[in-house]
Amino acid sequence: MLNPEMPLAAISVSDFQEMMEGYLNRIPSTPPAPAPPQSHKVEEKLVSATEMCQLANVARSTLYHARKDGRVPFYRMGRRILFKPSEVIEGLKQG
C-alpha cells in the first residue's frame, strides 16, 4: 500500500525505458538447465506369508524352508513376518 504522505515521483518515458533495460540486462539470456528428473521408485508392497504363498504358488512349508535357509529375505514388523514378492520369487528361482 502506498504511503499517502510520500510524494510520487514522475519519470520520463526514456528514464523508465533505461531503468527497465537495466533490470532486463541482469536476467541471464539463457534459462538455467532443468534439473535431472527424479527417479520415482515405486515401493513394493510387503505381503504376509499366506499372500506370498498364493502369489508364488508354493506351499507354506516351501516358503518357510527357503526363509530358514536364507534364500528368501523377509521383514519383521513386530511379530509379523512379511515378504517382498519380487525378492521371494527371485530367491525361489535360485534355490
- What's the pTM? 0.55
CA distances from 68 to 14, 24, 36, 74, 95 (A): 83, 68, 42, 10, 12
Q: Per residue in 4-25, pLDDT tens? A: 666 667 778 888 888 888 888 8
Q: Where are the domains of the chain?
A: 48-94
Tell me which residues of the chain have a pLDDT lower than 70.
1-8, 40
pLDDT given for residue 2 in this prediction: 58
The whole-angstrom separation of Cα 84 and Cα 95 is: 17
